[in-house]
Structure 1
């Protein structure tokens, strides 16, 4: 057992759509709407948390225990394009009146990021006037970017202050020495989403450009919890990953603090750092004073201005974070004081849990078997690109909760803190992943930046109880090469370089977080070169066998890109037999579907399907259903799989892709790109995973024009028995094809006017039913 160590018109259209959707969401959820109104009056009161402010769509100032956080998403101007030779877009006196007025989050690929043509890649410029009052003198002033893709150069009053490379993680910029107090300051940001020499170099998803997450102005005392430690909160909470925490959860705290030289040199040095752990009810369960090498600061040997304060606390008989059943969390409060006066504070949510992965028993949470079944998610949405406000992203989690998953693979890059916070709250076990996808470059800059992005991911997400593994790569070498198709290096040389990078990343992950394992998503097979991909499998599993990576999963598309759907069983069993000491899972599986394309899925259809068809214009919904039914029947019989993740929860944007008459969209989602339509396969998994929300669902409901008057009817349900009536004729109880799937053969349809009703009784005797009235029989010749 392994202990888990567009411009102008287009953009205005998008803004209108966004505002309308936000209005609908707030109107529908009146409680949330009222909370937002209430926050207008409370956001300026000391003690309001940044998390509360984040939930508001308003410009807010948060005065929280010695530090000030102001969201500055509003009132930016934007220009899509590069700066001319004679221009200076960052200059104080530059006239940006012709630029587009926008608010963050923002992407310039909201429309072309999911279209048939290649999306725009290049520079985009942002400008904002920012008031810095005289009262901020003597303070430290920072800009906190939650993310900007992919390269972001920050200017303050015409001077370049910082350049960040990496599009999916937060970064903090110290602007103290560049601002003018008591007047307007000009913040300019040049963002570029071209590939260049950093991960990811490629991937089957759009590289949306822009400042697509929020930006905050942060003001602190000169002595403060470090806000520049790779974009993290500066508070790291560690608990042992073993059974001992059931009785005694020993918490180790590490808090890097920037201490002003005056405080260090002062004879009356009175900087203190204290911590408390509070339960969900607000009761203090433990407290301690953090020290430097076991000493108070004034007694410690300090060099430089960054000091690590450490300490331990114990919580007796803690309430465990126990997945979706009971995602209980505590709050760790860390306070910095000077002469007893509070000058800084950071609060972090944590959860106590222990877990392991066993090659034969799968995932184990808090000492009990906890099979992981769930979905992959991307971060984009129709009309928004990747710049999706949290209020809108919330709908994703309502759908995720409805389908009944207990795990998320957050692909293929780190997502926002909102996502991980929701996972914590909902009890979802998370695979977090760095954006090393398909290929690498052989430069030192690439490898150094990859390690930087891994470090940022781990440090920024260290305290989330939901996260159980760090993903190091996705389909690395999956194209048959690791650098480029026309590389001068041999495949062996490329693999050697890839191995060196993977080992470096694995070592860094172990150093930063020994309590979570590393994992990777291996491209599992390919019809074009089965032997070549077998070699990829062997090469990548060698990283597991050699101890570099702890856990493995496979992206498998049996029946879609290659082989037949049923071949997945032998594939998994062979891998398990050949690698008995490696925990194995499935990181991706499924197939695409246009929910308005339909067909009869028989042996002839299945036998004629091939890789070319999977990339073609015809992807009937029924075939997606077939693939998921088949895959799940195999997966559910193999409890040793440590985790399985459907690809994908939602359709997502891939600029330039053109399949299933849906340009720019990967159609493998269970829900449409705009989240307005749940495909049949959504309900298949709801029948498997959600046992609380009782339902009946008639499949192929959008297959309204049929050629045959005698047909089969299939229903998904999480109830034990389902009956069917068609046009008043009782067809009785359905034949159970597999759990959750009921079938009736030989059902007769009229040419028009069909009423199809499936119903079932709940345990309390009440009836649940679903009705379809749109089916009609139309001869093939009359439809063409």
Structure 2
């Protein structure tokens, strides 16, 4: 069997260049099979349409596509881990004489084999790095066959096998708190290049002379499968305004390895920063026998420093890193996010004030890195050595390769400042042996590798204290107010950990919140928590049963509590001048196989937006601290009914970055308050008010300089007391554009809404409609804990009739005909 060379190092120019080489995203005309085949012949053998013996049955899909788009959050099954096949037929017409035809994979999970007809042309191990398969020879050979002309009518059959089966000798560990997805969940590109092209171009930047000048060095690695001995070309450097500021020609007599092809002195460079993410363009050409290949890179001029036992500096000035984390995961598609989805998500982060992101826990899409560059978001990117211990040579070789690929493929992004070498490597479980010294030895090896590949950036890990001295920057475990302790211990815990290392960063803090669940007494659980016993996460703390009292187990998982926790952390960070920064975990709720009992099964609910990007109330807490564009948000947009006694005073909170704000309830002013970040909660923008029974109109008017912003909501106030839930009430609350939405309420035996109920409910559907479930959201899960005595779900009517049923343990089921 012929194997054509596979390149594990992706060609970085593929996303930018269509002028001198041609690329096409292969998104349509794919078929998918969620199982294995008996062999490659089953993917390409002749079949007759409609023949019941033409098995197995394939389904039509578009790329990107993930095996686990729905089953990752199906409450009744484990998510699928195994092989799956994709197939399509290509028109191959390379315009370059003797040119190369390539398939560029931006990421495929987790092990991938590529076939042209029955010939395997490439294999790749690793679900997150980019790679290229050269199919030139296999296509040429197949075009000579009668099968090409007769059976496939001039098209090239392409078949791809992806496999995310469990494998202890592969990273990341299956003990990780995220799904190890399968499929072609990032874009696949068909690329035509001249016979000589670029594999990579490395643009390294050094600021000099008080940042009034900079040196730009350019190296190239060529893709040269026929061993052309020499080449010549040109380099152009363009400033952010599109003006060419430097150019030169080069010639080489040896194309092996990485070749220095240009060096430039740039006067008064525009510095890249979160406030002004100025990007320069480096365009490189190579010429051979009348064919020209052009490669384009973006780069930026900036320098940074983690001050010894001090803060973080960017371009000579202190910058508090205001960060979050990201998984590639989204409602309805899992890892198969489109470019539009990614852009929307990253812009939403920027609008919240994020200037730093940790991409956990694996190399992420080139699209995300490009967005971080253009939006001005600094990056910690991480290899997928996550939990489980340390395997054998196969395991370590994969880690070596994936770290190398990540650094080389994303080398030019000015947004990146940290290479993450691992996550929670103190977490045993995949192997009989857990040897700390062996883990330390491999961590040192990876640390050396990262510095050798890229001396300009720092290395880091999170939560592995026995390796804290190896990397340049260390992040310990501090979960004040969630897994351990109370949130008022945050500053003290952070100071203690800060003193233990030279360069400190706080990655991962926060807690879960069940979207649409609110509380009149959110901090109640803190009274049961023993303070002074540490704020780190320990084995078993994530469990919802057993162990010491902790908010993660004993709290109400309300949006109200998590807003207080975030609010406290953020106000404290403003009083910590030595702090480099922090990144709360995590920006968006994401699926995980190890949390089946969470209020939304198989969901980690620590995001400030839901899995579909819908903001929770906590989004606006961060926005009030981290942004400058005037905003004001009354807490409770997703809290339709509050409760208490008649005449009881209730707190209304407004999250705003404005100088002052005035609150009105039912037309009555409750006065103007000045914002003061140290006046907890809500930076002093909180009022005690008396609600009327029934509906109450709440409005705030806030001022920042000469700018005025306002926000308003309506909340019902319930004074009727309730007993235990005794009955379900099901009603349709919306019907538009073929989508119907229903809501179930839990009532006591007197028909009073049980506003603190947290019972489980399960929706089901019969008839013509389709239930919009398995989305991993509060409104898109057929099994879910109720939020304040209610739960919502929607369905597509498909133009027909349906019946929705709701079950809840120990309560009579109910059916609604639609």
TM over 0.5: same fold? yes
- Show structure 1 runs of 5+ residues with no match: 1-48, 53-61, 227-233, 523-535
Contact 2:695 2:714 in 1 (8 A): no
Partner of 1:454: 403
- Superposed counterparts of 1:19-98, under 5 Å: 51=15, 63-65=18-20, 67-84=21-38, 88-91=41-44, 93=46, 98=57
Q: 1: distance between equivalents of 2:495 and 2:94?
A: 69
Cα contact 1:560–1:590 (8 A) shared by 2:
yes
2:487 to 544, 565, 571: 565
TM-score, length of structure 2 as denominator length: 0.78
Q: Is the contact made by 1:115 and 1:657 (CA closer than 8 Å) also made in structure 2?
A: no
Between the aligned partners of 2:576 and 2:308, the Cα distance in structure 1 is 11
Query: Is the partner of 2:374 in helix, strand or coil?
Result: helix
Name the CA distance, whole Å, in 1 between partners of 2:687 and 2:644. 16
1:338 aligns with 2:288: yes
Q: Which residue of 1 aligns with 2:664?
A: 725
Query: Whole-Å Cα distance in 1 between the matches of residues 658 and 94 of structure 2?
Result: 66
Deviations 1:532-587 (A, max 9, x none): xxxx53x132xx2xxx31011134211111111122222222222333xx111111
CA contact 2:663–2:669 (8 Å) conserved in 1: yes
Cα displacement (A) at 1:342: 4.4
Paired with 1:134 and 1:589, the residues of 2 have a C-alpha distance of: 51
What SS is found at the alignment partner of 2:660? Answer: coil
The count of corresponding residues between Structure 1 and Structure 2 is 671
C-alpha change, 1:700 and 1:776, in structure 2 (3 Å) is farther
Query: 1:688–1:739: 8 Å Cα contact kept in structure 2?
Result: no
Secondary structure at 2:490 match in 1: helix
Structure-2 change in CA distance of 1:399 and 1:567 (3 Å) = same
Q: Give yes or no for contact 2:666–2:698 (8 Å, CA) kept in 1.
A: yes
Give me the whole-angstrom Cα distance separating, in 1, the residues matched to 2:720 and 2:611.
30
Q: 1:519 to 1:63 in 2, by over 3 A?
A: closer
Contact 1:246–1:317, Cα closer than 8 Å, also in 2? no
Residue aligning to 1:109: 68
Give the direction of change, closer, same or farther, for the CA distance of 1:446–1:767 in structure 2 (3 Å limit): closer
Inter-partner Cα distance in structure 2 for 1:746 and 1:646: 30
Of the three residues 308, 316, 321, the one matched with 2:266 is 316
Q: CA deviation at 1:215?
A: 0.7
Give yes or no for contact 1:355–1:366 (8 Å, CA) kept in 2.
yes
Report 1 or 2 for greater relative contact order, CA contacts < 8 Å, sequence distance ≥ 6.
Answer: 1
1:100 corresponds, among 50, 59, 63, to: 59
Further displaced range: 608-617 or 720-729: 608-617
The Cα of 1:105 is off from its aligned counterpart by 0.1
Alpha carbons of structure 1 residues 138 and 618: separation in structure 2 relative to 1, 3 Å: same
- Assess if the C-alpha contact under 8 Å between 1:373 and 1:407 holds in 2: yes
CA distance in 2: counterparts of 1:740 and 1:321, whole angstroms: 35
- By how many angstroms is 1:740 displaced? 5.0
Aligned ranges for residues 243-258 of structure 1 at < 5 Å? 243-244=208-209, 246-258=211-223
Q: Once the 2 structures are TM-superposed, how far is the Cα of residue 81 of structure 1 from its aligned partner?
A: 0.6
- How big is the shift at 1:284? 1.6
Deviation at 1:648, TM superposition (A): 1.0
Question: Which one is further off, 449-458 or 630-639?
Answer: 630-639
* 1:246 and 1:320 in contact (8 A); partners too: no
Q: What is the aligned counterpart of 1:583 among 499, 503, 506?
A: 503
TM superposition shift of 1:259? 3.9
Structure with the largest fraction of helix:
1
- Partner residue of 2:726? none
| Contact 1:757 1:770 survives alignment (8 Å) | yes
Q: Structure 1 residues 659 and 754, CA, compared in 2 at 3 Å: closer, same or farther?
A: farther
Aligned counterparts, 1:619-630, within 5 A: 619-630=557-568
Tell me which residue corresponds to 1:230.
none
Question: Residue by residue, what CA displacement relative to the aligned partner does 1:676-735 show, whole Å, maximum 9, x if unpaired?
Answer: 2x2121111100011114324334751514133421111111112122222233221347
Structure 1 segment 361-760 matched on structure 2, within 5 A: 361-477=310-426, 479=427, 481=428, 483-484=429-430, 487-489=431-433, 491=434, 494-522=435-463, 537=465, 539-541=466-468, 544=469, 548-579=470-501, 582-601=502-521, 604-608=524-528, 611=541, 612=544, 614-615=552-553, 618-655=556-593, 657-676=595-614, 678-699=615-636, 701-702=638-639, 704-709=641-646, 710=648, 711-734=650-673, 737-738=679-680, 740-744=682-686, 746-760=688-702
User: Which of 162, 167, 172 pairs up with 1:200?
Assistant: 172
- Which runs of 5 or more residues in structure 2 are unaligned? 1-12, 48-53, 149-153, 531-540, 545-550, 724-751, 755-818
Please state how far the C-alpha of 1:287 moved relative to its aligned partner: 1.7
Q: Name the structure 1 match of 2:774.
A: none
- Distance in 2 between the 1:351 and 1:175 partners? 35
Specify the SS of the correspondent of 2:348: helix
After TM superposition, the structure 1 stretch with the greater mean CA deviation from structure 2, 734-743 or 625-634, is: 734-743
Q: 2 CA distance for matches of 1:211 and 1:244?
A: 47
1:157 Cα deviation after fit: 1.5
Instruction: Give the Cα–Cα distance (whole angstroms) in 2 for the partners of residues 586 and 461 of structure 1.
Output: 24
What is the Cα deviation at residue 168 of structure 1? 0.8
SS at match of 1:600: coil
- Contact kept, 8 Å, 2:630 with 2:656, in 1: the verdict is no
Single out whichever of 681-690 and 435-444 deviates more from structure 2: 435-444
C-alpha distance in 2 between matches for 1:254 and 1:218: 23
Say if 1:769 and 1:488 are closer, same or farther in 2 by CA, change over 3 A: closer
Deviation at 1:670, TM superposition (A): 0.4
In 1, the alpha carbon distance for the partners of 2:274 and 2:571 equals: 23
Higher alpha-carbon deviation: 276-285 or 608-617: 608-617
2: CA distance, partners of 1:326 / 1:765: 23
Kindly indicate whether residue 195 of structure 2 is the aligned counterpart of residue 222 of structure 1.
yes
Question: Does the aligned pair in 1 maintain the 2:238–2:246 contact within 8 Å?
Answer: yes
Aligned CA-pair RMSD: 2.5
Q: Is the 8 A contact 2:387 2:424 kept in 1?
A: yes
The residue that corresponds to 2:758 in the other structure is: none
Contact kept in structure 1, 2:309 and 2:504, CA below 8 Å? no
